[in-house]
Structure 1
Amino acid sequence: MTDTPSETDVAIIGAGPTGLFAAFQCAMLRLHCVLIDVLPETGGQCAALYPEKPIYDIPACPAVEGAQLIANLERQIAPFSIPRMLRHRVESLSGQRGDFVLGTDKGATLRAKAVIIAAGAGAFGPNRPPLEGLEAYEDSGAVQYYVRRKADFQGRSIVIAGGGDSALDWALTLKDIAAKIYLLHRRDRFRGAPESLRQLEEAVAAGQVEKVVPYQLHALQGENGALRGVDVIDMDGGIRTLEADTLLPFFGLATDLGPVARWGMDTARSTIPVTPSNCETSLPGVFAIGDVASYPGKLKLILQGFSEAAMAAHAIHPIVYPEQALHFEYSTSKGVPAA
């Protein structure tokens, strides 16, 4: 639905996988909701950053690409015709539990009885390496921070820089597509799942990936945005040039809560502390789920965000229906409510 609503039961800020599942959970409890996201499409980081990257820890899905996961979640909420306000950034939040007013950068106003913040890591952008002339290579596509289409890297010679899961995953994913993969890290120890580390050693032994350790990025060689080599430097100052036409630096995301940090709730290191049992923030009636939420023992997994979405929806039910007891029922028993 594209019409901008003026009021709802629950305003869900963030239309990534956790926000989409929160919409489903709300709808199953007959709570009207609206999805709000600053991006032009639903999906959050899954759609914007890694639509073709396999995700392996979604229950009942041995492997599912980011875009397919979002498509499945959209199919799940399709029967409910849930309104969404895309390209809207929520700038202000006022009011109290049961009667909030949200204002967006487009001048829209939405009244809601409760709010769920499912904003992932908040506003996000890549940590860029401090290399001279970097912008020209970014503009040409020789330096990229996200892989949106694997086919774009067919036959290319790629330097992948980083020591975490993203660097490992993309080295393993692109090894059968690219002509050459260099995996660069400042030490010969990578932070990744044991299975990814095992597969990496197999790929190195097979000559599909070349580990370049311990080295760091030093300079880019080329002109007019066309990359022909990446200079790397070791701990003793020795420089080596890797012949490559593409650099993929995976040094994590710089995150910012943005306007959310000014709404009067407790925050900590770009996250929002919540009560673990119901995901309510320090501001009554406002809940946070997914990567933006923090509490002892928190795991930043999509599946944990799904669980938090269900808990938040059930905690919101008495706010919207204070005189109606909620008797928990399994979806296998009650089915999907009529829209």
Structure 2
Amino acid sequence: MNAAMGQTPLDIDVAIIGAGPTALFAAFECSMLKLSCVLIDALSEIGGQCAALYPEKPIYDIPGHPAIEGGALVAALDAQIAPFGVPRLLGQRVETLAGHRGAFTLGTDKGQVVTARAVIIAAGAGAFGPNRPPLEGLEAYEASGAVQYYVRRRADFAGRRIVVAGGGDSALDWALSLSDIAEKIFLLHRRDRFRGAPETLAQIEARVADGRIEKVVPYQLHALHGASGQLDAVEIIDLEGATRRIAADTLLPFYGLSTDLGPIATWNIDTIRSTVPVTPSTMETSLSGVFAIGDVATYPGKLKLILQGFSEGAMAAHAIHPIVHPDQALHFEYSTSKGVPAGS
């Protein structure tokens, strides 16, 4: 079920805000405990940052997978909850939250109303978007695809002359990855020092030596040149004000993400610097009946790893069970003995 559910109010046990990997696994855990749930996400597809930012980038710390691409991980998690028929409201953001433990009402920006006994906030870093460089005429180049902030399909960049701007992991990783298929990679940074693992930096130097990557330091972006959204050159400037033009048809600025809790910050829930403090044993927030998991949740010893988010989803689901079924004891069973619905 997608965002086309219309305006009919939806009554559910658990409303899960977010549809990234942590949210998907939380839906599985809730479903295994026979708690009905719905996934609500402002993005038009499930997967969160895995789908939006790095669907073709391998992840190395998912148990049982020496390496798995972000898109493949999302697909596997989606297949895992398929037997339960979990509805999802995509392309709409939860704007309002009212009520109390056992009886919450949520409203989205598309007019959808959801009533739920409990709420799980699995919103990742909150609403996120790229930090965009302050360049004149940027919008036209973004619209044409000449300027992009995410690499969804490597094949789209074959044969291109690409300026990769930034000095962190994303810039370095994509410069390396795309150097195999691009005509030329220009790696631009305002300093001659990059923030990356020693092995990554060594690989960069090797690609510089064989001519596939050219380091352009210390420079910053200054202007874009082209017509009708088609990029011909990227103008850069050094610390002394001297400019240089690089013939290029693609600019990939990797200056990090700007994050915002959005409406969550207005829901009378304690927050700390765009994160939500929780009780580690239950993942419950300061608002009884509302839980937070994944990157948005914080507590002493917190690790921002997908695998920890999976564990948090399981703990939240078990803590929610007595809210939904106060007179029913939860007899925990391993999935190997309990199984999942037929058709999985």
TM-score by length of 2: 0.92
Match of 2:183 in 1: 179
Q: The residue matched to 1:297 in structure 2 has which SS?
A: coil
Unaligned runs of 5+ in 2: none
Match of 2:261 in 1: 257
Q: Where does 1:35-184 land on structure 2 (aligned, <5 Å)?
A: 35-184=39-188
Alignment CA distance shift 1:323-1:91 (3 Å): same
Q: The residue matched to 1:296 in structure 2 has which SS?
A: coil
* Superimposed CA distance per residue, residues 313-337 of structure 1 (whole angstroms, 9 cap, x where no aligned partner): 1211221222333344332233225
Alignment CA distance shift 1:51-1:240 (3 Å): same
Provide the identity percentage.
75
Match of 2:10 in 1: 6
Unaligned runs of 5+ in 1: none
Alignment CA distance shift 1:156-1:72 (3 Å): same
CA offset at residue 180 of structure 1? 0.4
Q: Which amino acid aligns with 1:149?
A: R
* Superimposed CA distance per residue, residues 63-106 of structure 1 (whole angstroms, 9 cap, x where no aligned partner): 22222111111110111111112223211111111111111222
CA offset at residue 227 of structure 1? 1.5
Q: Which amino acid aligns with 1:330?
A: Y
Write the distance in 2 (CA, Å) between the matches of 1:89 and 1:133.
29
- Larger displacement relative to structure 2 (25-34 or 234-243): 234-243
Write the distance in 1 (CA, Å) between the matches of 2:75 and 2:315.
23
Alignment CA distance shift 1:55-1:128 (3 Å): same
Aligned counterpart in structure 1 of residue 222 of structure 2, from 198, 218, 242: 218
Write the distance in 1 (CA, Å) between the matches of 2:260 and 2:166.
22
Q: CA RMSD in A?
A: 1.9
Q: The residue matched to 1:254 in structure 2 has which SS?
A: strand
Asked whether the 8 Å contact 1:163–1:189 carries over to 2, the reply is yes
Q: Which amino acid aligns with 2:182?
A: A
Q: Where does 1:209-288 land on structure 2 (aligned, <5 Å)?
A: 209-288=213-292
Q: Which amino acid aligns with 1:36?
A: I
Write the distance in 2 (CA, Å) between the matches of 1:103 and 1:313.
22
* Superimposed CA distance per residue, residues 243-297 of structure 1 (whole angstroms, 9 cap, x where no aligned partner): 2111000111112211111111011222212222222111111011112112233
Asked whether the 8 Å contact 2:172–2:196 carries over to 1, the reply is yes
Write the distance in 1 (CA, Å) between the matches of 2:46 and 2:27.
12
- Larger displacement relative to structure 2 (279-288 or 43-52): 43-52
Write the distance in 1 (CA, Å) between the matches of 2:271 and 2:190.
32
Write the distance in 1 (CA, Å) between the matches of 2:65 and 2:325.
35
CA offset at residue 156 of structure 1? 0.3
Q: How many aligned residue pairs are there? A: 339
- Larger displacement relative to structure 2 (78-87 or 320-329): 320-329
Asked whether the 8 Å contact 1:5–1:83 carries over to 2, the reply is no
Write the distance in 2 (CA, Å) between the matches of 1:293 and 1:55.
21
* Superimposed CA distance per residue, residues 210-261 of structure 1 (whole angstroms, 9 cap, x where no aligned partner): 2222221122222332222212222233323222111000111112211111
CA offset at residue 5 of structure 1? 6.0
CA offset at residue 14 of structure 1? 0.6
Asked whether the 8 Å contact 2:23–2:39 carries over to 1, the reply is yes
Q: Which amino acid aligns with 2:194?
A: F
Asked whether the 8 Å contact 2:83–2:341 carries over to 1, the reply is no
Write the distance in 1 (CA, Å) between the matches of 2:92 and 2:140.
30
Q: Which amino acid aligns with 2:266?
A: R
TM-score by length of 1: 0.93
Q: The residue matched to 2:86 in structure 1 has which SS?
A: coil
Match of 1:27 in 2: 31
Matched, 1:315 2:319: yes
CA offset at residue 338 of structure 1? 5.9
Write the distance in 1 (CA, Å) between the matches of 2:203 and 2:301.
29
Asked whether the 8 Å contact 1:184–1:215 carries over to 2, the reply is yes
Q: The residue matched to 2:170 in structure 1 has which SS?
A: helix
Q: Which amino acid aligns with 2:40?
A: I
Alignment CA distance shift 1:98-1:64 (3 Å): same
Write the distance in 1 (CA, Å) between the matches of 2:255 and 2:232.
22
Write the distance in 1 (CA, Å) between the matches of 2:208 and 2:25.
39
